[in-house]
Amino acid sequence: MKMTKETIMKQDENYYLPVFSRYPIVISHGEGPYVYDSEGKKYIDFLAGIAVNVLGHGHKALVNAICEQAHKVIHCSNLYYTAVQAELGEMLAKVSGLDKVFLANSGAEANEGALKLARKYGKTISPDKFEIIAAEHSFHGRTLATLTATGQPKYQKGYEPLPGGFSHVPFNDLAALEAKISEKTCAVFLETIQGEGGIHVPGESYFAGVRKLCDKYQALLVLDEIQCGMGRSGKMFAYQLLNVKPDIATVAKGLAGGVPIGAFMATDKVAKVFSAGDHGSTFGGNPLASAAGVAVLKAIADEQLLENTITVGKYLFDKLQGLKAKYPKIITEIRGKGLILGAQLTQPGRSIVEACLKKGVIINCTAGDVLRFVPPLNITTAHVDEVITVLDEVLAHT
């Protein structure tokens, strides 16, 4: 017997930890940039699982790669080699401009590994070189260490005592970083574009200055590309847009198009401080996830999705600017790069998100008052028009 939406929601409430503030729809399946709920209603998905479904839903090459790999072997221990993991490692090294790769299961795990590598590298210089500087309003994950690196106290409340050695400075404020950094700093840990904190893009000279400070103090520059990486900015990694090279970079979300995965990449100079047993993972980089990652990277290249992200992202940006001009009392700023865009509101955004959802459009609100747009990278201008039409209707009645 088919379960009703209400039955599914009740079952979830009875047995799932209440850590999510869910919207009252049950997703059934998806196709391209659209998903369908359990009652057959169609939605255009401009959230894409929070920047995960870079190829949309049901992408044929991705689905085929997953199915083919599942028929061969889904998982094996990292005590053994697999061809598909080796292939993904080489692809990630080449597109990132870094040398060595570690595959994990999530963005939080990727950042956790990057923090460990940075700490271990710092200890090769001095036993006191362990401090990590991150940014206010950042988001790096929900493990205890990544939660501590996250510059938002609301996520840390109740989990004290937090691990030591972390501090925060305002994002895009080079003077504040210069005042904080010291010989004890082992790493400066930043999102290249802040996502969860409200889609904040740094000034053009900011990262060049951060790089110089890191070099001066022998500190590593670690860039979190969990949300803004995998082509979302119009470059494979947003640091390539800003002409800065990190010592370590982390990626996840879009890397395998929805199959859980994460990765951190490092220069040879940094990576060599790890040896067998220093880090590991049971599931990280298993054949199924690696096959999905290879398929996504190939699709981004074969379907020219970086170019599409720039073109359609500009179109979406301009359309949002039009709404800002039309509703200046509600929208004060449009910001972002490519297809990671935000609309700063003068009011909380949840009611706007809920009204869009009722009209078949999925977007979300981050930082309380920023509408976030992170759709699949293969959307068209027609899809943008579809969303903008609905958002216009909603704003007119807000």
Element (H, E) at 353: helix 350-358
Give the chain's length. 398
Beta strands across the sheet bearing 27-31: 27-31, 34-37, 42-45, 361-362
Q: Which of 46, 207, 224, 337 is catalytic?
A: 224
Q: Which of 46, 102, 139, 189 is catalytic?
A: 139
Tell me which residue of 84, 124, 141 sits closest to 288, measured CA to CA.
84
339 CB neighbour count, 10 Å cutoff: 30
Write the burial class of residue 109 (CB in 10 Å: 0-12 exposed, 13-18 middle, 19+ buried): buried
User: Cα separations (Å) of 386 from 105, 142, 185, 356, 357?
Assistant: 34, 34, 48, 11, 13
Enter the tokens of residue 325: 């001009």
Contacts of 383 (CB under 8 A, 6+ apart): 33, 44, 375
Enter the tokens of residue 387: 């969303």
Residue 113 pLDDT: 98
Residue 2 pLDDT: 78
- Centroid of chain to Cα 13: 28
Residue 40 pLDDT: 96
pTM for this entry: 0.97
From first to last of its 398 residues, the chain has per-residue pLDDT tens of: 679 999 999 999 999 999 999 999 999 999 999 999 999 999 999 999 999 999 999 999 999 999 999 999 999 999 999 999 999 999 999 999 999 999 999 999 999 999 999 999 999 999 999 999 999 999 999 999 999 999 999 999 999 999 999 999 999 999 999 999 999 999 999 999 999 999 999 998 999 999 999 999 999 999 999 999 999 999 999 999 998 999 999 999 999 999 999 999 999 999 999 999 999 999 999 999 999 999 999 999 999 999 999 999 999 999 999 999 999 999 999 999 999 999 999 999 999 999 999 999 999 999 999 999 999 999 999 999 999 999 999 999 99
Beta strands across the sheet bearing 185-191: 100-104, 262-266, 248-251, 220-224, 185-191, 131-135, 166-169
Q: Is 253 a catalytic residue?
A: yes
Contacts of 287 (CB under 8 A, 6+ apart): 69, 72, 73, 74, 75, 76, 82, 84, 85
Sign of CA dihedral 343, 337, 204, 227: positive
d(CA 299, CA 153): 38
Residue 112 pLDDT: 98
Residue 111 pLDDT: 98
Q: Which of 100, 253, 319, 337 is catalytic?
A: 253
Residue 10 pLDDT: 97
Residue 56 pLDDT: 98
d(CA 257, CA 58): 10
Residue 119 pLDDT: 98
User: Cα separations (Å) of 16 from 1, 2, 167, 375?
Assistant: 22, 20, 34, 28
